[in-house]
Amino acid sequence: MLFVIEHLEPKLSEWLHIEYSHAARIIGRNRLLITNVKKKDEFRKLGKIVRVERKRACELFKQRELIVLDPRARKRLSPTDMRGRGV
């Protein structure tokens, strides 16, 4: 399974870099992809710790291949939501 984080912050703060680094250690560098990294220096810096892509997740994956985790969602994710997703 590939975990994707869409980078939406205007700049890569030191705190956010630490968060991404921590996620990469937990999940594994090859299982984590950070998308939407537009700035060259941020792309280079993140590329040292994790897989990085300039494109947005919606440009890289089909909608049926994605599960978006939203802490404000009205409905909780259930095991049936995972059917047919290769999980």
pLDDT tens column, 5-23: 999 999 999 999 999 999 9
Please give the pLDDT value at position 29: 92
Pairing of strands 51-52, 32-35: parallel
3-class DSSP assignment, residue 57: helix
Least confident of 40-44, 53-57, 72-76: 72-76
Burial of residue 32 (number of CB atoms within 10 Å: 0-12, 13-18, 19+): buried
DSSP 71: T
43, pLDDT greater than 70: yes
Phi, psi of 4 (to 5 degrees): -125, 130
The pTM score is 0.81
Please give the pLDDT value at position 55: 97
